Structure 1
Amino acid sequence: MSESRITELRVHGVGGAAPDALLGTTAHRQIWGDRIAGFYAADAEQRGRRVEAYCWGGMTSRSSTRVLWVLLFPFMLANLAGWTCSARTRADRWAFAAHRACGRLAALGITINLLLIAALGAIDIWAFQFGGRSEEGPIGRLQPGPRVVVGAAVVAAVLLVLWLLSRQARQRYEEVTPVDPDREGYPGSAAGLPDGVADPQFFNGADTVRRLGLLHVGAGLAWLALVLALVSDGAFGRALAVAAGVLLGFSIVVLALEAAGDWAVRPLVVVASLLVCASAMHAWQSDPGADLHVGNMRTAAIGTFWLIVVLVMGRLPVLVAISLLRLAGIRRGAAGAKIPRTNRRWPAAPLTVAALGVLSINIAGLGSLVTIAKSLDLPRDAVLPGLRNQLPWLILAPIAVVFVFLLVELIRYGRAANKQATRTVRAEFAGRNAAAPAPPPPGAAWRCNALPVDGICAGERDRRMQWVRSIARGRKLAGFAPDIRYLLAGLMPIVAAVLVLIPLEVKGKTLPPLKFADDLAVTVAGLIPVAGVALLRWGWGRRDARRWLGVLWDVGTFWPRSFHPFAPPCYAERAVPDLQRRIRWLNDSGHRVVLVSHSQGSVLATLALVQQPAGAPTLVTFGCPLTKLYGWAFPAYVHRELLDRVREWRNFSYASDYIGGPVGRTEVDVSLPDPASAFYVAGEPMPGLRRHTGYWSDEAMWREIDRLTAEPRPAPVPA
């Protein structure tokens, strides 16, 4: 049993890590938590202190079912879009409230977008068109009206499954109570808390997810009732359509109100359910038409399309109006507020990310519709022409943008090893080599220099120069991550083009696309569902594959589901309270805690301490993306003022780390050389870059941690 009163608590980063790897030994036991996320303690001390590990990878990548979260990718983007608020917008009370409302409405637009695709596939293509041509099977024996109702039942089932998944995830993650459960609850979402991430209730989003989930179900059912009423037509059908439209509008208004209570949410779902049943009964007895498509389905699809446009793009006129009021002197706005600065600005980030969610769901959805129609041997016009003719824009144009972006980044990477950069690298490592003491015999005889020095042959010089260039390129590559904003901005014209072309298509004013482009787009669209199934199969059967996919969820599902309830669950809702409770237990047991965290784990650890009262442990982070990525993408919530709340902190970073970096505090940041020197042992490879994953084996960092734990703690600052 360990006797040390210093406990080193390790937290892994993206992709997860087994306790054996995190603790560096197989001799350990689980002391807290469960199979999804738990704490493990090594049986023997290491470097003179107890060692524990918090393994939270089971929340994102360990289970086979996590791979199904790929299907929720557009919803994840919709939720992230709300968190990419600028610091200036947050400082303006009106603009910030409008931003949150628009974020929730955009998330609803993406949900309705999915339901529209499901309706086109289930009601129009499968139930009406295929069922009308085939006399075999249960669907072929039904009349057109009942077939439409059966297709609508499939759409309702999709919505119900999404709600059930959200409810199950909420019970597993969001229902975990925070460390201070007796604190008076905040009526709104975590996104609107006055103290932001520092508020102890920030990761307490159960009520928000439950309320938003019911609102999305109510709005989705109201929309489905509207579609059924339009399809069934007739006087009673028109009355049902008006009622469904009013109910849908009411649900949109309630959703815009952040703190809408159960008094409005639950009755909305009940009324929407009754209205769907009434519309289904009327559609069962109706004749939806004898044309290729269900009667009025084109009208319903185009109307829904414009509703989605208004919900997703509505933030533009709202925020412009608020800005004009501020310029006109009617309101002051954020003029007197202290606004944190960011090194890399990303204008229109919420709109860009939300538009990317719409683009992704329509690319995958339209590809699925084309595949379904081809598999059922239906004609080319089985998919509504107003949507079908957008395939080249939705499929080929994004591929071209991605290709151009990667080409530009590749050119920048190649040009990074210019003379100035290589000269800087050579001077740096030459100075480091000169300061390094000579090793004792026989080490000196085996030590080689990777730098291109005088007196070597041309071939050896080229090999050593290649090593220098690799370091220069590695450092350049480390700054490429925020360039993703250029790729996303490049996709925005595609969204705008589709918004223009679809209404023109409705009026019959567009020229037919080039046959080559159209055929290629159809082929690629057919491959998208196949690739999706292959991806799911790959991740389902292989744990290492799920770890790669889990990297996406580690980053994209960190934030609470304050905007889209059907997004993958927020693991921080459980991980942060887990860390806080364990730290408090160790403090109460008389242990000094040193919290050692890597990559995404450093985000969890830092924000856990930001909310922690007096007695917080010493924090050690490495590969920390708080400033480099989070401060850039989410400046309203992660900024210097927040990070200044952590007192005892050391943050280690490499210049070649493409994810982590300094946090901007001189007394905190420690830059580690990468590689440590240009010397290497003869016969072994030249020193390689550690980049983002080499911290755990860096002895220089661990010596600094040893020194830090040996220092006496500073006296606490009075509250």
Structure 2
Amino acid sequence: MPESSRCRARGGCDPPPPGDVVELRVHGVIGASADDILDRPHVQRVAGDSKGGFYRPRRGYGDSRGACGVVLETYRWSDLRSGAAARTLSLVLLLPFMACNVAAWMRPRAKVSGGVVWVGCRLVGLSLTALYVLSFVGVALDLLACKCMSLGSCLGGRTWLSWLGGQPVGLRMALLALVPVAAIWVLWVVGSRCGRWYENFIPPTGEPADTLLGSIGTHNATPGVVRLRSIHVATGLAVLDLSLIAALWAGRGPSLLNVLLTFCAVLTLVASVVLLCVPSVIDAVAGTSVVDGVVHALRSTAVVVTIAVIGWVAFDRSEWPAENGLPGHDVAVVLLVGTQGVLLALLGIAALVGREGSRGKLRWSGPLLFACLAVGLGVSFATEFNYRVSDYLDRDLPTPDVLPTSPVLPYKWTMFGFFVSVIGAAVAGAAMVLFTRRHRRRTADGIVARDFPEADARTARRREQVRDAIARAQFTERLRPLGVTYCCLVALSLGFTALALDELQPSVAVESLVSLPSDFVSAGTQLGSYLMALLFVGLFFGGLFAYRTTAFRRYIGTLWDLGMFWPRAAHPFAPPCYAERAVPELACRISMLVGQGKYVLVAAHSHGSILALASVLQLEPSVLSRVALLTHGSPLRRFYSTLFPAYVGSDVLSEAGRRLGWRWVNLWRDTDPIGSWIFTPGRGADDALRQRSAVDRRLRDPQDLDARGRDTVWPPMCGHQPCVTDDRYEAAVCELSERLRTG
């Protein structure tokens, strides 16, 4: 079914006469108001809604047209991933899930290694859900039900908690087990509501696109998200069940019911892992009734077992030393963190085996880097959560080496590991800056000398500033060693937790192993706790103000938009994918304009270029013949093609250019740390190579070193700023418009 027949306009001004060229601008990460994007003071929405809308200049308020008489229009999508403060803050808490989800989309193009990375990222996501539940188990059952309620000094003055202090430990644990259950329920509600955040949007129907990137936004792009949600809920309940059953074994010993409940909980975990290891089953479109029935039965079984376990624990009257904490909780934390370390190693091997020629880039290490980021954030959140609750419970209690209400020892090791990771990454980053500085400056000197061959003393200072800006922009090309170093540090910090099984404190163990002073290690562990708290507070306020102030948008918007662009495939509780609305909506609008007899020039800046590319790949050939593409400050090659080779690789970029008839111009600057050229310059007489090479147009930045009587200040360096006010941008618009009109 054609796009134009399944898309509907929503209001608007009178359409331009047939044959006009519509310059449809798509903004980048930072976004702006519609009047700023169009550079016109008065605009009106002609389609869409307040979250994702299409705007044009109002008639009668000056010149409403652009270069060479094109009709100006913009698609403003920045509100799709912002909104209420509560929702934005929830995205911060889901950040580990988002990083894990992004890692799956970074899989290599090789079939075997790409499949291993896909499955490995899903297993890492499952471990993050288990860690999430285990952190609530540690607070509710270990710290509160066992340790705090066994101490009169901890219950004193806390009437909201002291009423449970005199009850049997089984009843206390059964009641407080409702806290992890509520945490799982919150995940379920958030995951279910995420798909309805864009409920005003009318999704298109029809066959999916024939490319992986072009399938984003179609009804069957990721059919397994609902099944993944049920599997993760079943796993979370199984983790809670095994934690409670451990207490039953400590009190009652091996009984028939204990063995049966243990078997059911372990079977649920094994079934969840097995299902995730068969992506053809989870992502199946055909035969969904059988698959959905199996997944539903798994979730229902986990719910029934949880009810049985909580009921059995509630009536347990056996005595065991609850003041020592929840039995087996420290072992569970070590096993889970160790499993995450093994999965990260598997991801690294699979990504390395499936790597392509990527010297100096992040291509093969992308999945490992983002998976390590997800695990590191998850462990940090769990550790900080347990220690902040512990600090609140300790109050004015004496402070021996181990407080009575301290979390289990593995969490102390994760604090020390976090300290080592932060210090190591900072040192590695500083070393990278220093070691690459000479080469980057040498390359930048060559670029400046080529652009501005006339040197004089008056412009010497400005030449240095331009050279330094180009050198800084080139640093993003040399991030692979820093990413690999961070991955190694995360793996090392995860390995530290195994020492907790021998009841070794970090200060004692490190002093005996590497002869570091115990006071230094203790200070590092405490500093690690402060750094974790600082990270959480920074993310909290960063998420609150992320899309409400330009400063926060500039620094964290790139990573945030990168993560929320990809559909939920590895973790069902990741933030919602705004591209599931933005991509098909943009494709619908283009098809509608073409259906009205217009030509469409899509002008996309920065991250908007990936939205434009995915939309172009959804268009039909009859529509594409009247479409051209203008990108500026585009990260398609520098980031997307490097990090997502299976979805935005060079073959996908070439295919998009071929479908457009190579009516594509890409403007880029050497001072831009994000955008760059897209196609490698071709050599030879081949027409395809010449067409590819003609796409990229380098803009000298700044345009001159000296005002030379034309201005009172030096010409500015634009870097990653949009090019819409540049004369060379207008020239590209005129060129593409003429190519559209003349066919």
- Normalization by structure 2: what TM-score? 0.82
Contact 2:91–2:543 under 8 Å retained in 1: no
Q: 2:711 matched to 1:695?
A: no
Query: 2:89, 2:543 within 8 Å by CA — same for their partners in 1?
Result: yes
Q: Distance in 2 between matches of 1:552 and 1:424?
A: 29
1:270-281, aligned counterparts within 5 Å? 270-281=300-311
The CA distance in 2 between the partners of 1:195 and 1:704, in whole Å, is: 28
What's the counterpart of residue 457 of structure 1? none
Deviations 1:501-557 (A, max 9, x none): 333331346734422332342244146336534653465368106634443321122
Once the two structures are TM-superposed, the CA of residue 27 in structure 1 deviates from its matched residue by 1.7
Tell me by how many angstroms 1:172 deviates: 2.7
What is the aligned partner in structure 2 of residue 168 from structure 1?
193
Does the 8 A contact of 1:414 with 1:473 survive in 2?
Answer: no
What's the counterpart of residue 227 of structure 1?
243
Q: Which residue of 1 aligns with 2:299?
A: 269
Q: Which residue of 2 aligns with 1:291?
A: 323
Q: Is the 8 A contact 1:371 1:525 kept in 2?
A: no
Stretch moving more, 262-271 or 128-137: 128-137
Evaluate the alpha carbon distance shift between residue 538 and residue 305 of structure 1 in structure 2; reply closer, same or farther with a 3 A threshold: closer
Q: Give 2:707's aligned residue.
A: 680
The alignment yields a C-alpha RMSD, in angstroms, of: 2.9
**Distance verdict in 2 for CA 1:530–1:495, change over 3 Å:** closer
Partner deviation per Cα, 1:95-115 (whole Å, 9 max, x = no partner): 433332222111111111222
Q: Distance in 1 between matches of 2:707 and 2:299?
A: 68
Counterpart residue type for residue 182 of structure 1 = G
- Measured in 2, the distance between the counterparts of 1:420 and 1:671 equals 16
Q: How far has the Cα of 1:28 moved from its partner?
A: 1.5
2:639 corresponds to which residue?
629
Match of 1:327 in 2: none
Q: Which residue of 1 aligns with 2:391?
A: 374
> What is the one-letter code of the residue matched to 2:533?
P
Structure 1 partner of 2:536: 532
Instruction: For 1:367, give the aligned amino acid.
Output: E
CA distance in 2 between counterparts of 1:194 and 1:75 reads 28
* Structure 1 residues 484 and 418: CA distance shift in structure 2, 3 A: closer
Give 2:321's aligned amino acid: G
Secondary structure of 1:680's partner?
coil
**Corresponding position of 2:333:** 301
| Cα distance in 1, alignment partners of residues 185 and 406 from structure 2 | 25
What SS does structure 2 have at the residue aligned with 1:282?
Answer: helix
Paired amino acid for 2:696? D
Once the two structures are superposed, residues 678-711 of structure 1 have per-residue CA deviations (whole angstroms, 9 ceiling, x without a partner) of 2315573322321101423222221221232133
Task: Give distance in 2, aligned partners of 1:643 and 1:318.
Answer: 25
Relative to structure 1, the CA distance from residue 714 to residue 666 in structure 2 (aligned partners, 3 Å threshold; closer, same or farther) is farther
Question: 1:383-532 maps to which residues of 2 (within 5 A)?
Answer: 383-391=406-414, 393-411=416-434, 415=438, 421-422=444-445, 424-430=447-453, 451-453=455-457, 460=458, 464-508=459-503, 511-513=508-510, 514-526=518-530, 528-529=532-533, 532=536
SS in 1 for 2:647: coil
Aligned residue identity for 1:666:
S
Name the structure 2 match of 1:71: 93
Q: Secondary structure at the match of 1:595?
A: strand
* Match of residue 128 from structure 2: 110
Report the equivalent of 2:225: 209
Q: Does 1:141 align with 2:151?
A: no
Partner of 2:117: 99
The answer to whether residue 66 in structure 2 is matched with residue 46 in structure 1 is yes
Q: Which moved more, 1:486-495 or 1:166-175?
A: 166-175
- In 2: Cα distance, 1:36 partner to 1:178 partner: 15
- Structure 1 position 483, deviation (Å): 3.4
Choose from 129, 132, 143 the match for 2:147.
129
Please tell me the residue identity of whatever aligns with 1:560. P
| CA shift in 2, pair 1:128/1:491, >3 Å | same
- Matching residue of 1:667: 694
DSSP 3-state at the match of 1:291: helix
Moved more, 393-402 or 133-142: 133-142
Partner of 2:590: 583
Q: 1:131 deviation in Å?
A: 3.1
Relative to structure 1, the CA distance from residue 41 to residue 263 in structure 2 (aligned partners, 3 Å threshold; closer, same or farther) is: same
Distance, in Å, in 2 between the alignment partners of 1:709 and 1:684 is 35
- The 3 A distance-change label for structure 1 pair 497 and 707 is closer
Structure 1 Cα separation of the partners of residues 632 and 264 of structure 2: 57
1:86 to 2:129 alignment = no
- Of 591, 596, 606, the residue aligned with 2:603 is 596
Q: In the alignment, what sits opposite 2:575?
A: 568
The alpha carbon displacement at 1:669 in A equals 0.8
**In the comparison of the two structures, how many residue pairs are matched?**
658
Amino acid across the alignment from 1:492: C
Name the structure 1 match of 2:688. none
Distance 1:347 1:538 in 2: 30
1:141: Cα distance to partner? 1.8
Residue 222 and residue 482 in structure 1: after superposition, are their counterparts in 2 closer, same or farther (change >3 A)?
farther
Judge conservation of contact 1:78–1:563 (CA < 8 Å) in 2: yes
Residue matched to 2:685: none
**How much does 1:251 deviate?**
1.4
Question: Per-residue CA shift, 1:549-605, capped at 9, x if unaligned?
Answer: 443321122111111111111111110001010011101111111111100001100
Letter of the aligned partner of 1:374 in structure 2? D
* Equivalent position of 2:206 in the other structure: 182
1:230 touches 1:300 (CA, 8 Å); kept in 2? no
Distance in structure 1 (CA, Å) of the matches to 2:57 and 2:214: 32
In the alignment, residue 100 of structure 1 is paired with which amino acid? W
> Which shifted more, 525-534 or 42-51?
525-534
Q: Secondary structure at the match of 2:619?
A: coil
> Is the 2:170–2:315 Cα contact (8 Å) retained in structure 1?
yes
C-alpha distance after superposition, 1:451-496 (max 9, x if no partner): 425xxxxxx5xxx323212222222222222433323311233333
Comparing 381-390 with 475-484, greater Cα deviation is found at 381-390
Distance in 2 of aligned mates of 1:423 and 1:299: 58
**What one-letter code is carried by the residue in structure 1 that aligns with 2:65?**
E
Give structure 2 stretches of 5+ with no counterpart: 1-13, 59-63, 283-290, 511-517, 680-691
How far apart are residue 57 of structure 1 and its match? 0.6
SS of 1:563's equivalent in the other structure is coil
Report the TM-score when normalising by structure 1.
0.84
Gaps of at least 5 residues in structure 1 are 186-192, 324-333, 432-450, 454-459
After superposition, the C-alpha distances for 1:202-238 in whole angstroms (9 at most, x for unaligned) are 6754632222111111111122112111122232334
Higher mean alpha-carbon deviation, 376-385 vs 653-662, is at 376-385
Is the contact between residue 566 and residue 579 of structure 2 (CA under 8 Å) also seen in structure 1? yes
Answer whether contact 1:254 1:264 (CA < 8 A) is retained.
Answer: no
- Structure 2: distance between partners of 1:165 and 1:111: 14
Residue of structure 2 aligned with 1:29, choices 17, 30, 44: 44
Aligned to 2:183: 158
Match of 1:354 in 2: 371
Distance of aligned partners of 1:427 and 1:562 in 2 relative to their CA distance in 1, 3 Å threshold:
closer
Q: Compare 160-169 and 385-394 and name the one that shifted more.
A: 385-394
User: How far off is 1:386 after superposition?
Assistant: 3.3
Whole-Å Cα distance in 1 between the matches of residues 349 and 444 of structure 2?
46
The CA deviation at 1:652 is 0.5
Higher mean displacement: 260-269 or 380-389: 380-389
Paired letter, 1:125:
L
What is the match of residue 234 of structure 2?
218
Q: Determine helix, strand or coil for the equivalent of 2:197.
A: helix
CA–CA distance in structure 2, aligned partners of residues 349 and 538 of structure 1: 24
Q: Which amino acid aligns with 1:496?
A: A
Tell me the CA shift for residue 42 of structure 1.
1.4
**Distance in 1 between residues matched to 2:231 and 2:378, nearest whole Å:** 21
Tell me the CA shift for residue 363 of structure 1. Answer: 2.1
Equivalent residues of 2:414, 2:493 under 8 A apart:
no
Q: Secondary structure at the match of 1:559?
A: coil
Deviation at 1:243, TM superposition (A): 1.4
